Structure 1
Amino acid sequence: MRLIQSLRIGLLGLLAVAAPLSAQQQDARADGKAFGESLRGEAQEAAKSQPNAANLPNYDRNAVRNLETLADAPERIESNAAAAATGHQGYRAMRDSVANRARFDPSEIEDVIARSLAINETPLDYTSGMAISGGQGNCVPLPTGSGSAGTYTATCNSGTRIDQSVGQCAVPLVASVTRRQQWHYLCNETSTVYGYPWCSAFDGGSCRITGYRPGPCLQWREDQFYRYCTEPGDPIAEITCDTPDARYTPYAVTTDNSIDTFSDESQCIGFADNGDCTLDNEICTDADPQTRVIDGVSVTRPCWEWQRSYTCTSREAASDCSDIESQGTCRFIGEECLTDEMPCETWERIYECPLPGTDISTQYVCDGDVYCIDGSCETIERTANDEFKDAAVALHAMDEARGQFDPNTLTLFRGTRNTCSSKVFGVLNCCKGKGFPLIPGISLLVALGCSREEVLLHERDAQGLCAYVGTYCSDKFLGVCLTKKKVYCCFESKLSRILQEQGRKQLPKPWDKPKEEQCEGFTLDEFARLDLSRMDFSEVYAEFTDAARLPDELETSILIQQKIEDYYARGGQ
């Protein structure tokens, strides 16, 4: 049964193959054959003829040559891209966005929320023991907060920014060999006695005299030894022509190889056409071997490729003050021109900001300070004795005056001049100090480009030992400041720095110009004129409260009352 079915299927297949085509199928086949025949001649002709670049749409010979060059030397792709990026608007917008975006130090955020995190961990430790009866409870110290007394000077820049970028490009030497035939003739410049035409007959064509040979001898003389010419004829000139002269028969036909070379500067067009780019140097990068075979001809050149280095500059308005202004706690003081030129291209804006850090004195939550009756609560506020701390500061100032007296100049509290530098609108800033967290390890800042002296200044200023004097421009270009220097006067203690800062305002004795300030101390007469009671020493109070707790009138009265009650209790009264 299966065999019969297989034979039936095979027979049907053979019938389908052998069946005649319909009229519609025959017409379609005829149309396709006719269309193919119409294109056969054009296809054969295209296969025989040389390709013509002019017939190719969007064909750019220079672009193809540049791509071929990059294919042979892919290491140039990066340098070519860097050269094109200098003038690309999207690239510049990306750089500006990265340079001017807001930045926050994680350590500063942690300092701000440290107290909240500590109370959140164990809230009952700071609220336990409070009673409705208003009885005296215990005082629990709060964890260290982030606020502190004192300010620091913060600066930023505004005005014109000059961006300098360096780019390189390659200039290869391209050599080509052109072969052409030369036809050589002989002529005479004086007569036609030798059967040669006049040389003037070749004037006006593509011919030139390329040499001379002696003419036939007019008079010979012989002796027993040899034969020599006593009257040589006029010299015969050799003429070389680029095209044959049909009037005469050449005595020789040669082929001349002409070598043409040119420097391919296509990779440097972006730099050369940019008026803000300056060529710094050009060095040979490919001189071995000097002799190379070009189309079968040896060509010798001292260098086959050069590398050009450019420096490009651009000017644009810029400001890096967004970080300071966004804090909302800094007070704008003023701005100064860094270059002392008019119109001023670069300004430094000066702000006074509160110092971050820890609380000066410990704060408490005291059960006994809150009294509640029938839901109405009252808080007892404590008033500290300010006279004690002021007296302590004054005594400490007198003690430091003895230690910092210079008998040679008869001055007190002399400081040392220190400077640090930073790029205007740049990333590297070696002038961060007070107001910024200390970076652990000197080696890190030194590795970034700061000197050890600048790192030590950073540490001393962060400790509150240095007073900011001012800033001046140390490097400028086209009237725009590129690098600025900050000047500080640093002292042996924080108290000495405060005395100098606030004492100079009282005298008055302002700081000298940043380039000239030498951090001189007070003379004896100047120090005698200072009124210490008018000075704010809140920054140094913590140094005394760490050593001894300041007396509190309320705490003292409670202690006295408790002693009186204990005395009567022991006596049974």
Structure 2
Amino acid sequence: MTRMIAAALAMILVLPNASTAQTTEAAKTDGKQTARDLLDTARDAASAPVDANRVPNYDPQATRDLQDLAQNPEQIEARARATATTNPALRAIRDSMASRAEFDPQDISDMLARSRTISETPLDYTSGMAVGGAQGTCVPLPPGAGSAGTYFATCNTGTRIDQSAGQCRVPLVASVTRRPQYHYLCSRFGDFNNSGEPVCEGFAGASCRATGQREGRCLQWFDNGYTRFCSEPGEPLTEMTCDAPVSGRTPYAVTSTTDVAAAPDESQCAGFASNGNCTLDAEICTDSAPQTRIVDGIAVTRPCWAWQRSYTCVTRSAASDCSALEDEGSCRFVREECLSGDEACETWERVYECPLPAGETGETQYVCDGDVYCIDGSCETIERKANDEFKDAVTALHAMNEARGQFDPQTLTLFRGTRDTCSSKVFGVLNCCKGKGFPLIPGISLLVALGCDREEVLLHERDAQGLCAYVGTYCSDSFLGVCLTKKKVYCCFESKLSRILQEQGRRQLPKPWGKPKTETCTGFTLDEFARLDLSQMDFSEVYAEFTDAARLPDELETSTIIQQKIQDYYAREAQ
């Protein structure tokens, strides 16, 4: 039956458009024409001469009277007194006040006291007596809550990474070294052109380097009696500077040089640098003034003389926070999913389905047969029966009503949800979105102060109210193949009933949720909704919301009978 209702609703949502079919262009043309007609009417009215008679219900005399009162406000009270004697509205008010029933305050107090007594033991006064004089029979209403519902709880198992921070100091160590320098002269061709100096190739194997050049010995001078100059210069000589004496050669000079070496002392950071699980995060200069310092009598200038390095180190260990769920006998293991996404999975999430704790049921409600209601000596027996199917009928009607309200004409879908996510540290303490099955911490500001996002706290509240369906979890931050932060994905709906229709309807079609990272919470198409069998769905989670409604027809009938008898009583008294 419910499947036929769902199919009929799908047709109702589509047929109105088919019966009044009109193209988009035709609708636009009609709209433009209507706007032009209204514009012409407004222009005519604006350009017409001013005529007070054209104003609806315009009374020139009433306008003049109001103007006189505005100029002479002291006449308002006098005219009001004169009008009060003949005004029908004021006379009706006075007559009503004069004929209004009056009650003694003590009678009102006694009535309230009786009401309190009846509310404390209602069955003593509502069950009544049967016609034969026996006590009426009362039947308890069927339980309205059914089951409180279930929720998905998750825990983590696998590799845990603990992070720690470390710092070390790296000073710059400067040293000064003085060593002798041996200077030689050589020529490219040696003593071939009578330069008197060895060939430069003889210095190739020594620790020597060319440091300059000078003119070679002059081979031919020219003297004209006035000036003398070299008309044939010899081969230029190369100055060679060597760190050690060259065997068989005599230096023309021996000097000394100063070497300045500056190297960072890494000893304090060696432990962090050699640890493959430590990562350098930052290096900052902590000693840069003054930049020029005297080392062994030599001025040495460096932009920084010491640094501080910051490292983050991790340690791996096996961990699990599933013991509480595994020890809970009422939770059922559903599945295990890899969070790290690698072939050799490092971190797993285990999903359990747990029952929601049953809430307070309150007192049992009854419907009673054989009740006798008497007013003015006239008694009548009211027969009543408990209706086990009423809650199912109300739920089905409510589902149909929500289907109409949640139909999206743009996408032609029903019960579309919104995607919400929340993040939590794997093996972390703070969890901002546990949702159903966990108590709400009062005060959003407190959770935000602890590190939760405001939207995540709102998601926690909506899920606790039964408005969200859990889709799944994916890893949003990992390190060395181990998941550090995971993100839980939910699809949230406008009502608890919409969520149940989505969860159980997807299993019927079947239409499983997509991957958590890409799920967009789409609704049912009209064809999909028409294929659903609502009679096979478990709506027991929402029955509690219709418990009071289950008594409505019976109470309404009783109230109507009592009201009619009261009216008859006063009608007879008035005669």
Q: Tell which deviates more after alignment, 241-250 or 327-336.
A: 241-250
TM-superposed CA distance for 1:537, in Å, is: 3.4
Distance 1:209 1:542, change over 3 A: closer
Q: Tell which deviates more after alignment, 426-435 or 247-256.
A: 247-256
Aligned to 2:335: 334
Aligned to 2:34: none
**Deviations 1:436-475, CA, capped at 9 Å, x for gaps:** 2223444454555554433322221111111112223344
One-letter identity of the residue aligned with 2:502: Q
Aligned counterparts of 2:215 and 2:436: Cα–Cα separation in 1: 98
Matched, 1:362 2:362: yes
5 Å matches for 1:32-431? 149-163=148-162, 167=166, 169-182=168-181, 189-190=190-191, 210-214=211-215, 228-230=229-231, 253-278=254-279, 289-306=290-307, 312-339=313-340, 341-356=342-357, 358-359=359-360, 361-363=361-363, 386-431=388-433
CA contact (8 A) 1:388 1:550 kept: no
CA contact (8 A) 2:272 2:311 kept: yes
SS at match of 1:510: coil
- 5+ long unaligned stretches in structure 1: 1-125, 127-135, 137-146, 365-382, 557-573
Aligned counterparts of 1:484 and 1:396: Cα–Cα separation in 2: 37
Aligned counterparts of 1:237 and 1:414: Cα–Cα separation in 2: 90
Aligned counterparts of 2:186 and 2:492: Cα–Cα separation in 1: 97
SS at match of 2:456: helix
Distance 1:443 1:226, change over 3 A: farther
Higher relative contact order, structure no. (Cα contacts within 8 Å, ≥ 6 residues apart): 2
Aligned to 1:505: 507
Aligned counterparts of 2:341 and 2:240: Cα–Cα separation in 1: 74
One-letter identity of the residue aligned with 2:175: S
One-letter identity of the residue aligned with 2:504: Q
Aligned to 2:35: none
Aligned counterparts of 1:481 and 1:427: Cα–Cα separation in 2: 15
One-letter identity of the residue aligned with 1:504: R
Aligned counterparts of 1:524 and 1:230: Cα–Cα separation in 2: 111
CA contact (8 A) 2:337 2:349 kept: yes
Aligned to 1:79: none
One-letter identity of the residue aligned with 2:173: V
Aligned to 2:498: 496
CA contact (8 A) 2:193 2:234 kept: no
Aligned counterparts of 2:528 and 2:215: Cα–Cα separation in 1: 109
Aligned counterparts of 2:440 and 2:160: Cα–Cα separation in 1: 29
Aligned counterparts of 1:523 and 1:242: Cα–Cα separation in 2: 90
Report how many aligned residue pairs link the two structures. 392
SS at match of 1:454: helix
Q: 1:485 aligns with which of 475, 484, 487?
A: 487
One-letter identity of the residue aligned with 1:471: T
TM-superposed CA distance for 1:299, in Å, is: 2.1
TM-superposed CA distance for 1:241, in Å, is: 6.0
**Deviations 1:270-312, CA, capped at 9 Å, x for gaps:** 2332234455676666555543321111223455445555555
SS at match of 2:191: coil
Aligned counterparts of 1:244 and 1:525: Cα–Cα separation in 2: 100
5 Å matches for 1:532-571? 532=534, 534-545=536-547
Distance 1:548 1:293, change over 3 A: farther
Q: Tell which deviates more after alignment, 222-231 or 269-278.
A: 222-231
Distance 1:471 1:233, change over 3 A: closer
Aligned counterparts of 1:342 and 1:167: Cα–Cα separation in 2: 32
One-letter identity of the residue aligned with 1:419: T
SS at match of 1:190: helix
Identity over the aligned pairs, expressed in percent?
Answer: 75
Aligned counterparts of 1:187 and 1:508: Cα–Cα separation in 2: 96
TM-superposed CA distance for 1:173, in Å, is: 2.7
CA contact (8 A) 2:191 2:198 kept: no
Aligned to 1:465: 467
Aligned counterparts of 2:193 and 2:527: Cα–Cα separation in 1: 118
**Deviations 1:359-403, CA, capped at 9 Å, x for gaps:** 2x2148xxxxxxxxxxxxxxxxxx986444444434433433333
TM-superposed CA distance for 1:175, in Å, is: 1.3
Aligned counterparts of 1:235 and 1:403: Cα–Cα separation in 2: 103
CA contact (8 A) 2:147 2:540 kept: no
TM-superposed CA distance for 1:434, in Å, is: 1.5
Aligned to 1:35: none
**Deviations 1:65-103, CA, capped at 9 Å, x for gaps:** xxxxxxxxxxxxxxxxxxxxxxxxxxxxxxxxxxxxxxx
Aligned to 1:65: none
CA contact (8 A) 1:158 1:346 kept: yes
How large is the Cα RMSD of the aligned pairs? 4.7
Distance 1:227 1:480, change over 3 A: same
Aligned counterparts of 1:324 and 1:399: Cα–Cα separation in 2: 39
**Deviations 1:146-199, CA, capped at 9 Å, x for gaps:** x98222110112223445556554443321001234465678852898998998
Q: Tell which deviates more after alignment, 321-330 or 244-253.
A: 244-253
One-letter identity of the residue aligned with 2:399: A
TM-score normalised by the chain length of structure 1: 0.55
TM-superposed CA distance for 1:490, in Å, is: 1.3
Distance 1:327 1:254, change over 3 A: same
SS at match of 1:175: strand
Aligned counterparts of 2:283 and 2:443: Cα–Cα separation in 1: 42
Aligned counterparts of 1:398 and 1:235: Cα–Cα separation in 2: 109
Aligned counterparts of 1:402 and 1:202: Cα–Cα separation in 2: 101
Q: Tell which deviates more after alignment, 176-185 or 383-392.
A: 383-392
Distance 1:241 1:397, change over 3 A: closer
**Deviations 1:311-346, CA, capped at 9 Å, x for gaps:** 555544322212333444422222223355544333
Aligned counterparts of 2:214 and 2:405: Cα–Cα separation in 1: 107
- 5+ long unaligned stretches in structure 2: 1-119, 121-134, 136-145, 365-384, 559-575
One-letter identity of the residue aligned with 2:172: L
Q: 2:520 aligns with which of 507, 514, 518?
A: 518
Aligned counterparts of 1:534 and 1:209: Cα–Cα separation in 2: 99
TM-superposed CA distance for 1:266, in Å, is: 1.6
CA contact (8 A) 1:159 1:345 kept: yes
SS at match of 2:520: coil
